[in-house]
Homo-oligomer: A and B are copies of this chain.
Amino acid sequence: MPIRVKDDEAAEVRALDLFTGLEDDDFAALMRGAYVQTFPPRIELASQGERSDFLHVVTGGAVEMFASWNGRETVMATLEPVSTFILAATICDAPYLMSARTLEKSRIVLVPSEDVRKIFDINADFARAVVTELGRSYRAVVKSTKNLKLRTSLERLANHLLQRYAMEGNPTAFELGQEKRHLASYLGMTPENLSRAIRQLEPYGVTFEGNIVTITNPEDLTNFAKPSPLIDDPWS
């Protein structure tokens, strides 16, 4: 049963860069057609190859984007609230290249693709916001390709940990925030090799206790990881 989007949740969605520039009534028009749904863990929200009916916004929980071919599967990204996905497929009216599944119980706002395209056509500000968002996504994937082609898996892990470390505000210890096997797939390695890679980072002051990561020597780790804004900076 479709449930209309309540005002407080709509406000969260509205806070996204994609929607802040929108006139009140245009945004209201989008939300009128939209609805919210809560999904249990491990539900596939979209499958690669399908056509786009809705722009999705995660407002609670966590969603994993993944892709598969010939019986193999790989994690492409992990999304946390509040973020959108399948914007490109929605705008281009093309089949999904990735699938999406909930990792935990999640709330998703579903905005009809047709409405998005309609507002996009009549509202120049929204069009600009879409371009900015698409540009950001494009650049994110280019960075990820560079990461894959230019670095070994150990270097990718080291840089990923530094990225998480910075995102948490440089605490000595922080939560990994996802299962290791998902991280492994995201980094393009097997769970077994992630285990071994973690060991290999010990000399650089990295310790794992369950899902708690401790970084005792950020300088050493940085020295090894050699992070670059042109690969690792999530902004710009």
Tell me the A residues contacting B by CB distance below 8 Å. Answer: 48-49, 67-70, 72-74, 76, 88, 91-92, 94-95, 97-98, 120-121, 124, 127-128, 130-132, 134-139, 141-146, 148-151, 188, 226, 228, 230-231, 236
Give which listed residue, B92, B141, B151, B236, contacts A141 with CB less than 8 A: B141
Contact A97 B139 (CB under 8 A): yes
B98 engages A142 (CB within 8 Å): yes
29 examples of A-B residue contacts, CB within 8 angstroms: A67-B230, A69-B150, A69-B151, A69-B226, A69-B228, A70-B226, A73-B150, A74-B146, A74-B149, A76-B142, A76-B145, A76-B146, A88-B135, A92-B132, A92-B135, A92-B136, A95-B230, A95-B236, A97-B139, A97-B146, A121-B124, A127-B128, A127-B131, A131-B134, A134-B135, A138-B141, A145-B148, A148-B188, A149-B188
Asked if B139 and A92 sit within 8 Å, CB to CB, the answer is yes
B-side contacts of A226, CB under 8 Å = 69-70
Distance (whole angstroms) from the CB of A181 to the closest CB of chain B:
15
Q: Give CA–CA (A188, B139) in the complex, Å.
A: 19
Expressed in whole angstroms, the Cα–Cα distance for A49 and B120 within the complex equals 31
Chain B residues with CB under 8 A of A95: 230, 236
Complex CA gap A92/B149 in Å reads 24
A69 nearest in chain B by CB position: B150
**Which residues of chain B come closer than 8 Å to A130, judged between CB atoms?**
131
